């Protein structure tokens, strides 16, 4: 097994590692499905890099590793190998036996996430994962509800694991097609809403065509775009003026990378809210219409905006590659997250709406620990409300870990260490 390379631990790192050792002595993670066929990777406290290409043949070996090493981060491969510890990677890949399908949603993929608090980020990501599973994985792609396992990542996101036999042999190109569908990448509106003839001039042998917007119940992306249309129009109606509405469209275009500029955004807003005294918006909502103008180009741009409200953003650095990569490492369920101390915990789909990571994923104990807080901090965690002032404070171990790991507090020289 590889030797860890790490610097001498600071008092803070010593405290964090001690917390993990004590936890894993009592509660090592459950062995994941077919754990002996998976590659494992770990990042130690104070480490310079991950060490990987590790395998376990017995649950006892896995438990002993966590008790003795207490890694800061623990991962296993989505792939199964006949020789999971084989090196180099090029040789291991030759023993590839298939891979789970993994979806990883993290706060990084949320537009303007840096403006949200940690609690707000958690709530937004949870809503996205619920939509991903219900609207795409189950409704559109047909995976069984029982076959989709959800996990809180322990940090700022959620993972969905699918082990259906149909996905195991999928290569990266197959998985890419699923990602493209979910993200709405390269949607062909001419296929979703094909032209239909609305008027024929027999004298001149000409005809007039318009999009066939089908109806809301058509299913798939047609239904999703109808829902996106409603959400977008209602949000724009709530804005005070057309200037704000143009800025709203420009922001969506930027964050969703639609490539629609100022002039086209202004044209859409004018057709929706200015011409006819704003009657277009009213009809599109009340009569469930989808006609913006007679200009096909503007219609297409509006469809892009509506579709963006129903797509799932998997384009972050850690999100999309997780799904398409057939060799990816993913956090081990039941392990602890080194930056929060929270458990990577299973979340049944029916419980997802009420799941609260700051309550349900808290794993460390309540023994009091004194730390020096850099600045005031308020949070509800472990069923308790905390409103802490800067300076020396005594808090439960689970909160002390969270504050120290996130750089919000330091250990005191005379503090009670575990």
Of 98, 103, 28, 34, the C-alpha closest to 66 is 28
* Residues with Cβ within 8 Å of residue 180, at least 6 apart in sequence: 186
106 is catalytic: yes
Q: Exactly one of 104, 271, 299, 301 is catalytic; name it.
A: 104
Q: Which of 273, 285, 280, 283 is nearest to 230 (CA)?
A: 285
Q: What are the DSSP calls for 65-82, one per residue? A: HHHHH--SEEEEESEEES
Residue among 334, 332, 399 at smallest CA distance from 26: 334
Cα separation, 298 vs 293, whole angstroms: 7
Cα first-last separation, the chain:
29
DSSP 38-62: S-EEEE-TTBSS-EEEE--SSHHHH
104 is catalytic: yes
- 3-state SS, 333-355, equals CCCECCCCCEECEECCHHHHHHC
What single string gives the DSSP state of each residue in 211-236? E----GGG-HHHHHHHHHHHHHHHHH
Among the listed residues 100, 106, 271, 299, the single catalytic one is: 106
Dump strand ranges (E) for 191-341: 195-201, 206-211, 329-331
Long-range contacts of 56-60 (CB under 8 A, 24+ apart): 59/31, 59/35
Tokens at residue 144, please?
A: 């069984």
Among 22, 180, 319, 414, the active-site one is: 319
Residues labelled as active-site residues: 104, 106, 319
């Amino acid at each position: 097994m590889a030797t860890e390379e790490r610097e001498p631990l600071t008092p803070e790192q010593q405290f964090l590692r001690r917390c993990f050792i004590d936890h894993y002595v009592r509660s090592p993670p459950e062995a994941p499905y077919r754990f002996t066929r998976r590659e494992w990777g770990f990042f130690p406290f104070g480490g310079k890099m991950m060490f990987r290409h590790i395998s376990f043949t017995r649950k006892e070996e896995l438990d002993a590793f966590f008790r003795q090493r207490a890694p800061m981060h623990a991962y296993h491969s989505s792939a199964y190998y006949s020789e999971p510890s084989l090196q180099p990677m090029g040789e291991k890949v030759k023993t590839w036996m298939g891979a789970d399908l993994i979806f990883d949603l993290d706060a990084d993929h949320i537009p303007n996430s840096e403006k949200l608090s940690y609690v707000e980020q958690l709530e937004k990501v949870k809503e996205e994962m619920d939509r991903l599973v219900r609207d795409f994985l189950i409704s559109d792609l047909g995976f069984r509800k029982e076959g989709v396992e959800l996990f809180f990542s322990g940090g700022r996101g959620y993972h969905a694991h699918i082990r259906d036999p149909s996905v195991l042999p999928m290569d990266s190109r197959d998985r890419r097609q699923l990602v493209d569908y979910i993200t709405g990448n390269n949607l062909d509106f001419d296929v979703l809403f094909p032209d239909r003839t609305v008027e024929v001039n027999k004298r001149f042998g000409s005809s007039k065509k318009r999009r066939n917007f089908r109806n809301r119940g058509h299913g798939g992306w047609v239904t999703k775009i109808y829902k996106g249309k409603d959400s977008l129009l209602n949000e724009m109606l709530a804005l005070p003026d057309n200037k704000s509405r143009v800025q709203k469209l420009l922001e969506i275009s930027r964050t969703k990378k639609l490539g629609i500029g100022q002039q086209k955004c202004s044209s859409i807003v004018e057709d929706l809210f200015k011409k006819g005294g704003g009657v277009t918006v009213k009809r599109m909502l009340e009569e469930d219409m989808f006609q913006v103008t007679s200009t096909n180009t503007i219609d297409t741009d509006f469809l892009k905006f509506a579709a963006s409200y129903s797509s799932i953003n998997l384009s972050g650095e850690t999100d999309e590659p997780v799904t398409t990569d057939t060799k990816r490492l993913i956090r081990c369920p039941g392990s602890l997250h080194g930056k929060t101390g929270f458990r990577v915990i299973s979340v049944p789909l029916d419980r997802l709406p009420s799941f609260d990571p700051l309550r349900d994923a808290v794993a460390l104990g309540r023994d009091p620990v004194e730390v020096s807080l850099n600045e005031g901090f308020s949070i509800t965690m472990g069923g308790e409300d905390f409103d802490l002032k800067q300076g020396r404070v005594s808090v439960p171990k689970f909160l002390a870990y969270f504050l120290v790991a996130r750089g919000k507090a330091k250990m005191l020289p005379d503090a009670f260490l575990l």
